[in-house]
Amino acid sequence: MKLTNAEDSARRLEADPGQLSGNGWRRRLGLRRGKSWILTLLMLAILVAAGAWAFYANVKSGGPAMDMSMRVTSGNTAFPVLIVPVERGTITGTVTYTGSVLPFNEEDIYPRVTGRIVEMLVYPGDAVRPGQVLARLDSVELSSKVREAEAGLAAARANRVQTEKELAAMVAEAGYARAVADRTARLFTTGAVSRQDFENDSAAAVAAEAKVDAARARIEAATSMLAQSEAVLRTATTVRDYVTIVASSPGYVVKRLVAPGVLVQPGMAILKVAQIDRVRLQANVGEKDLASIRVGSPVQVTTTSAAQLPLTVKVTAVFPFVDQGPRTAVVEALVDNTARRLLSGQYVTMRFVTGERADALTVPAPAVVRMGGKATVWLAKEGRAESRPVTTGLENPDRVEIREGLTGDERVIASGREGLYTGARVTDGSGPAPASSPAPDEQKDMPGMPGMKQPTEKPSTPKGGPHGGH
C-alpha cells in the first residue's frame, strides 16, 4: 500500500525519535499545523450549513422565526380564530376587587382591676345585651377594703355626733356666761358691783363664746371627715363591683382570649364582642379607580359560596386618604346582616360600577391586548390578520369600550390570537373552515424538520420485494 508524504513522515518520526532535532522537529510542527487547519475548516463548514438552513427556514419560507409557544403553521395554512363584529350599544363599566366583611362595631372587654377570673359566663357565639354579666373576678381583697372603708365611715359619724354634743354644751355655757355678764354690767352702772366683778364676768362670757366657735370648727372638720369617709366607701364599693365584668353594648361574643383561673391585669383583653347585625364591606381600591367611585355607586357583592346569590348594595364611604405603601384607599359599604348571611372576616368579591355610556363602540374583553400601557386589537380583513392600536374607555368582565381606533365596521378577533402576526391568514373557527390548497413552495420545505410538510409521494421500492431480493 502506497503511503502519502505526511504518513511517511509520521512513520519515520515514530521509528526514529531523534529526528525531532533539526529538520525533523520542523516537519513534526508542520504536520500539527496542517491538522489544526483541517479542523478549523470543518467547523466553518458546519456553521455555514447551519446559517443557510436558518435563512431558508425564516426568510425563504415567508414565516417568522419558530416560537415554541406559537401555533405552528406553514405556507398558506390559516389560523383558526373566533371573529366577531364590533358592536354599538350601552356599556356599564365596572372594576372588581377582593374585600372583607368586618363587624359594624367591635369591642374588646377588659378588666378594670387586678384579679383572678373565677367565672366566665359566656362563650363564642353567645348573644349579649348591655349590662349582662360576662365574667367575675376574685373579690376577697377588694371586699376587705370595702369593710375597712365602712369602719372609717362609722368612726367619722361617731366623731361628728360627739362634736355636736360638745358644741351644744358649749353653746349653753356661753349663753349663761353672756347672761351673767349682762347682769353684772347693769349692776356695775348702778354701783352695786365692783369693776373687778364686771370685768371677770365679761371675760368669762367672751371665753365661753370662743369655745363655741372652736366647737363649731370641729363640727365642720368632723363633717368633712365624714364626707371623705363616705367617698372612700363609695370608691371601695365601686372598685369591688369591677370584679363583675358586664357588657356595655349589644353584640355577639366572637372570641375568648383567656380561660377561667387566669390572673388578669387592667387593660388585658379577656373577651371580644362584635356587632354583626350590620356589617361593613371594605375593599382596598387602587388610586387609579378611586376617581370613578362615588358614595351611592352600586356594588355587586359575591361570596365564595355557590349557594348564595350576588348581593347588590351601595357605597356608603370612600376613605379620604391613600395608603402610602400599596397606594390604595378603603371603600366601604354598610349592609344589613340580621339573617347572618355574611360572616365577620369572610372574603367577598366587590364589583364597583364606575360609569355607564350609551351608544358606545364595544368589543369582547378578550379581544383587547395590553402591553406596555398600550391597547391593541387584532382585525380580520380579507382573511388576513391586522393589528390596530386603540384607546379604551369603560370596561367590564365581558365588554370593553373603544374610544378611538375603530369606526364600528370592523370585525375583530375575539380568541385564538396567540401567535398571530400581521398578514397571517385567519379563518373563523366558529364556522366551517374553507379548504386551502397547498402553495407551490410548500413542497420545497426541508424534510424532517418539526412543523414542516413532508413529501407526499412514496419512495420507490426495488423490484423483488422490500428486501431487494436478498
- Indicate the SS3 state at residue 256: strand
Which three cell numbers mark 468?
A: 431487494
Task: Write the CA distances from 159 to 2, 149, 156, integer angstroms.
Answer: 147, 15, 5
Which is more confidently placed, 101 or 51? 101
Round to whole Å and give the CA distance between 70 and 66.
8
Q: What's the pTM?
A: 0.58
List pLDDT tens digits, range 347-386.
Answer: 999 999 988 999 899 999 999 999 888 999 999 998 899 9
Round to whole Å and give the CA distance between 76 and 443.
12
Domains of the chain: 5-58 (no CATH), 79-91+358-432 (2.40.420.20), 100-105+276-356 (2.40.30.170), 111-133+246-269 (no CATH), 139-242 (1.10.287.620)
Q: DSSP letters along 82-100, please? A: EEEE-EEEEEEEEEEEEEE
List pLDDT tens digits, range 114-153.
Answer: 999 999 999 999 999 999 999 999 999 999 999 999 999 9
For residue 271, give the nearest of 108, 104, 105, 127 by alpha carbon.
108
Work out the mean pLDDT of the chain and round it to a whole number.
Answer: 81
Amino acid at residue number 316: T
Which three cell numbers mark 251?
A: 353584640
List pLDDT tens digits, range 408-443.
Answer: 899 999 998 888 888 999 998 765 444 443 433 433
Round to whole Å and give the CA distance between 343 and 332.
16
Task: Write the CA distances from 360 to 83, 88, 96, 387, 415, integer angstroms.
Answer: 20, 5, 21, 21, 22
CA atoms within 13 A on the CB side of 304: 9
List pLDDT tens digits, range 145-164.
Answer: 999 999 999 999 999 999 88
CA dihedral 361, 364, 365, 368 (to 10 degrees): -70
List pLDDT tens digits, range 200-248.
Answer: 888 988 998 898 889 899 889 999 999 999 999 999 999 999 999 999 9
Q: How confident is the model at residue 52 (pLDDT cuts 50, 70, 90)?
A: confident
pLDDT above 50: residue 67: no
- Torsion over CA: 58, 64, 69, 71 (sign): negative
Residue-level pLDDT at 55: 65
Instruction: Give 283: exposed, middle or buried? Use CB within 10 Å, 0-12, 13-18, 19+.
Output: buried
Helix (H) or strand (E) holding 154: helix 140-190
Contact residues for 186 (Cβ-Cβ < 8 A; gap 6+)? none
When pLDDT is averaged across residues 85-108 and rounded to a whole number, the result is 93
Round to whole Å and give the CA distance between 159 and 154.
9
Residue 208 pairs in a beta bridge with none
- Indicate the SS3 state at residue 369: strand
DSSP label at residue 425: B
Round to whole Å and give the CA distance between 101 and 278.
10
Residue-level pLDDT at 135: 95
Round to whole Å and give the CA distance between 383 and 81.
11
pLDDT above 90: residue 32: no
Contact (CB, 8 A) for 351 and 395: no
Which three cell numbers mark 450?
A: 418539526
